[in-house]
Structure 1
């Protein structure tokens, strides 16, 4: 791995950090505001500079016990039960979040406000380089977030806060948590340890994690009923047609950890962390995507059945730097400098053991934010964001030439009160440059402009109405511009278009909220009109037995609604019983004649839940109905409806200076065949069947 070159931004970052070190001061922790007896956390989205008064934009936060119950192998699966949020899965190891029907290069996944700097947007089979078990909290901004985070956030943001760089001295010399879990579906074993401590003016952090899982069990056939019917009608025969009970290629092994250290001064902090992530996972759906050998030798059938799926071997080393100071200059209340440096590679290994493609990504990103005091009644933040990415895909099966991408953005966001209305606005200008190494490919340059205006309007003491409008633009990513070849691990032949224009979007949303003593209700209605929406369509052609997918652009409209409600129905002594409900739906249509449906749009879903706590015991029961999706794109198969039943029971036992939590939870308790329509391989890879997971956690 070429890690030395990745250190090129370190001198610049160190100059900034050392300058701040001379004026460092205590960075007061943002405290979560506890809600009513419902225990609904009306918490701040701490990664957003305007969140102290609430955000007009639809948002969600997972933290504490709710985050612990939601943890799964991918960040997408971890957040997928939040209204308006889904996961673009590719087996159990891969799952990028999908927000309001938008995913891929339109949703920015971050670790502590810096991009993951991996290649997960390059293809559906590439995992995000984040381990959910290290998260302190996960913040989600649903809808355009380009002002703060650039054109890659035109659909929203998922920010995983790790606390790996301490911002303040701990109250105790040592705190931490240790956790172990296991399930029966894939015989998954998970272990995680986190330690935080301090001495004098220094605070430190240490974490480590490990996960190992075999192929997971499924309740029925590997292939969907629709695909098997289509193959039967076309007279095709596949060995895996009758495969059932287990999903080949769904195994995974992940391990890693991090160390962080900060110096805490009177007015701020300066710190760093170094982290490592190694993962090896299978890629299901191989046969369905053309991985079968053209010729078979006698006696090879059994061998190919055992090794019929490719695997992906990933390694990432990351360095993060951060410094913050209060009142750095006249007129400014705080300054924050954040840098992430990454060295990433993964090898896509064919069933024969040969490396088909080697992906490398050396990238770094920096952002500087200055919070300014009131100017003409406006308070806010001005910032600069810069990123540089050197990407390459090498090997006989490489579908994309090496490309260097550089972007720089300048932004301002501000807020003020006008009478009872809280107003939020902002503006961003950004340039993006792509420089392919292939002399036969043209360089491309884009200038993106984004703006927003929002308002939070109190209707009564309990009811508020939030209105948000955004104009956003997104530069095409290198994969959309320059792809040209077979990507065997994903089972596709992809063709880009270097003449693609910027994608622009105009979004309107309205959110109505009620927060009373025993009730909470929120509903969001949104519409996004895209001009020159970039998408990948199935041409119906094949190249080397692979479907040919071509990038193009057309106007498109996304319309959706989401709602959730929670209420306490009974209280007694040291316990209570509450109910909740959720609903979300989204439609996406192209402005073309004929079939105007976009592929992989989430179906409508709705759910009900019960939750109870009594002394040290907590329990919940949740039911979700996912409707059939038959508004499908050309050459896309419909997906059947299914039910999902989940349950949890846990108990917390206070010990000497330690709390022990023991829990048991179940997913898909009815053992129903579930296929995620958002998944690129949903017809070759159903979700796990009935899964029981047990675990224990020590917190001290």
Structure 2
């Protein structure tokens, strides 16, 4: 969904003491912090740069929307807040999002409905980097990296005081936003502060707009014309009366505070950021056996008894008034600096220590309606779909990262040696522990070089990763003694709650570890053919180990209506790619053409269960075991009405 704004009002005010922008920045050469060459020739390097001024002028957008106009870049929209970048068809954990050169350790890469935890105000620039230098910052960056560079920790002394104030209004969603910032030097210390607040309501949509939840729905019910008319009428009521897209709202508040001191010896500084967001998730996918299967059950089992209750408005009741949302809270503390040396072989030591406490909560609830319809047995039937309230499911990630980079350059020969160490503690907790805490450690040693060979420039990046994950593989365990105890409790009203609790399946956890040592390499050879034209050839072989959720997940993902299951036996991905790029710039014209081929062995993907597989699964279960509570068993196999999605592997080409 691309956002269309009827009108936007933005104001930017700069105090006259200092200016943030640099009008002398050249088109073909800009300082790119994510590249170890310092000054990068954009004519030949696989790098895109979006300035902070361009970001400010674009107004309130997700990160993906800001950069999706760049060549080879697009975005995966999942509402106003969640817009993940896609680089040459790759996204998720294959595209790493960084803030000032360190990985943003949220859970955005684990689902398209998760927003990236980074405020986009008071930025210096956004960099999209592929090639050898991208290897230095994160393991598994098969698609590349997106680096968000802000001005929170000044690396040079500030002169005087400066500030900015920005405001925006959007009529399409009654939205408003404000951001402000101050920076100055007090007693030899550089101090910065920035604040951003955004409040966007649901998007207005045209009257009679229809939200198609499943493209196959019309085909599957083509012969049921009367039912289809009722279904369409329900959707007509859903959006025609309200005139807005439900769950498309977005609200966020962000604070950033920085402090630094500088000198001939280098600089050192600290920063603190606090980000809180709440946003709706408008695209609520229907599963096989959920929407279609659920309505078939109504037709077959309940139509005679509940025709008046469920006809026509039933779909509207279930989907028109439901609230699907996510809330995030994060705190990040960073210590960063650079120490210059007088050693002939070592120019400087850059270091960063980053501690992040991140939490995302997903919830699904319905407005109170039809209490009479959902009493007793009928209420139990709907419980698999969430009932009045479903969730929340909490994605938690606590991490600490250390990064040390040694500048070994000499003259025009660029040399960097980089060491990274990171610890993560990730868990997903809902009504059950869908993913028990997984402790991950990542140890990396990388090397980057750039040499002028005379006829061309050669960039080389090498990375070694040692990654270990310790967690628990979970599965639902059914107590075989249920049958012996059911008769004792089913007629005792005062023990009904105990019977239900005893009869429920329980999650069983088995400790499992994953450890892998991987190696990645990338090289790029570039040459200027003349003053206007250049050509570059890139080769790379990059490894990506499975993420924690791909290995250990076993539970509900409410926002996407899926029951996701990981696989501890997944192998490491290996992506081998070749890239040939021609660039032209001159006389006010700029153009770039690229041809690339990317082959990924053991490509990991989330595979949805097909309708026929779901039906076969249910048929195979019928008759295996007879229990008095047949609906409970069917609901377990049906994963609570959610679509079963499993992490699988196969070779892929892009």
* Same fold, TM-score > 0.5, yes or no: yes
- Find 2:462's aligned residue among 427, 439, 463: 427
CA distance 1:65–1:332, shift in 2 (3 Å): same
Whether contact under 8 Å (1:71, 1:133) holds in the other structure is no
Residue 358, structure 1, aligned to residue 394, structure 2: yes
Alpha-carbon separation, structure 2, partners of 1:112 and 1:53: 17
Residue 34, structure 1, aligned to residue 19, structure 2: no
2:540 matched residue in structure 1: 470
The alpha-carbon deviation at position 66 of structure 1 amounts to 2.3
Describe the SS at the equivalent of 2:603. Answer: strand
Alpha-carbon separation, structure 1, partners of 2:606 and 2:426: 21
Whether contact under 8 Å (1:255, 1:279) holds in the other structure is yes
1:417 matched residue in structure 2: 452
**Could you list the per-position Cα deviations for residues 493-537 of structure 1 after superposition, in whole angstroms to 9, with x for gaps in the alignment?**
212111111100111112211222322222222111111111122
Alpha-carbon separation, structure 2, partners of 1:399 and 1:323: 39
The alpha-carbon deviation at position 227 of structure 1 amounts to 4.7
2:268 matched residue in structure 1: 270
The alpha-carbon deviation at position 401 of structure 1 amounts to 2.7
The alpha-carbon deviation at position 231 of structure 1 amounts to 5.2
Residue 79, structure 1, aligned to residue 67, structure 2: yes
Describe the SS at the equivalent of 1:133. Answer: coil
Whether contact under 8 Å (2:435, 2:472) holds in the other structure is no
Residue 241, structure 1, aligned to residue 241, structure 2: no
The alpha-carbon deviation at position 91 of structure 1 amounts to 1.0
Alpha-carbon separation, structure 1, partners of 2:319 and 2:653: 44
Residue 221, structure 1, aligned to residue 210, structure 2: yes
**Could you list the per-position Cα deviations for residues 353-407 of structure 1 after superposition, in whole angstroms to 9, with x for gaps in the alignment?**
55431221111212111111339x8421001011111011112165323211110
Residue 373, structure 1, aligned to residue 371, structure 2: no
Alpha-carbon separation, structure 2, partners of 1:523 and 1:398: 48
Query: TM-score, normalization: structure 2?
Result: 0.75
CA distance 1:354–1:222, shift in 2 (3 Å): closer
CA distance 1:64–1:478, shift in 2 (3 Å): closer
For 1:169-208, what aligned pairs fall within 5 Å after superposition? 169-171=157-159, 173-208=160-195
Whether contact under 8 Å (2:74, 2:85) holds in the other structure is yes
Alpha-carbon separation, structure 2, partners of 1:464 and 1:32: 25
Whether contact under 8 Å (2:29, 2:40) holds in the other structure is no
State the Cα RMSD in Å.
2.8
Residue 111, structure 1, aligned to residue 99, structure 2: yes
2:566 matched residue in structure 1: 496
Alpha-carbon separation, structure 2, partners of 1:261 and 1:128: 24
Which entry has the higher C-alpha Rg, 1 or 2? 2
2:627 matched residue in structure 1: none
Whether contact under 8 Å (1:120, 1:127) holds in the other structure is yes
Q: Which structure 1 residue ranges, 5 or more long, are not aligned? A: 1-28, 559-700
Of Structure 1 and Structure 2, which has the larger fraction of its residues in strand?
1
Alpha-carbon separation, structure 1, partners of 2:326 and 2:72: 30
For 1:35-74, what aligned pairs fall within 5 Å after superposition? 35=26, 40=27, 42-54=29-41, 56-74=44-62
The alpha-carbon deviation at position 145 of structure 1 amounts to 5.9
Q: Which structure 2 residue ranges, 5 or more long, are not aligned? A: 1-19, 299-305, 366-387, 474-508, 615-637
CA distance 1:500–1:225, shift in 2 (3 Å): closer
The alpha-carbon deviation at position 106 of structure 1 amounts to 0.2
CA distance 1:287–1:408, shift in 2 (3 Å): closer
Whether contact under 8 Å (2:286, 2:643) holds in the other structure is no
The alpha-carbon deviation at position 92 of structure 1 amounts to 0.9
Residue 545, structure 1, aligned to residue 636, structure 2: no
CA distance 1:69–1:113, shift in 2 (3 Å): same
For 1:512-523, what aligned pairs fall within 5 Å after superposition? 512-523=582-593
Alpha-carbon separation, structure 2, partners of 1:391 and 1:46: 29
- Find 1:284's aligned residue among 276, 282, 285: 282
Alpha-carbon separation, structure 1, partners of 2:443 and 2:277: 31
Alpha-carbon separation, structure 1, partners of 2:454 and 2:22: 27
1:210 matched residue in structure 2: 197
Alpha-carbon separation, structure 1, partners of 2:247 and 2:362: 13
CA distance 1:366–1:307, shift in 2 (3 Å): farther
Of Structure 1 and Structure 2, which has the larger fraction of its residues in helix?
2
Whether contact under 8 Å (2:355, 2:401) holds in the other structure is yes
CA distance 1:328–1:255, shift in 2 (3 Å): farther
Alpha-carbon separation, structure 1, partners of 2:23 and 2:350: 21
The alpha-carbon deviation at position 287 of structure 1 amounts to 6.7
The alpha-carbon deviation at position 271 of structure 1 amounts to 0.3
2:219 matched residue in structure 1: 230
Whether contact under 8 Å (2:364, 2:389) holds in the other structure is yes
Describe the SS at the equivalent of 2:323. Answer: coil
Describe the SS at the equivalent of 2:357. Answer: strand
CA distance 1:233–1:149, shift in 2 (3 Å): farther
Count matched residues.
524
Query: TM-score, normalization: structure 1?
Result: 0.70
The alpha-carbon deviation at position 261 of structure 1 amounts to 0.2
Whether contact under 8 Å (2:30, 2:40) holds in the other structure is no
The alpha-carbon deviation at position 303 of structure 1 amounts to 7.4
Alpha-carbon separation, structure 2, partners of 1:463 and 1:120: 38
The alpha-carbon deviation at position 340 of structure 1 amounts to 1.5
CA distance 1:225–1:150, shift in 2 (3 Å): closer
Alpha-carbon separation, structure 2, partners of 1:144 and 1:530: 18
Describe the SS at the equivalent of 2:510. Answer: coil
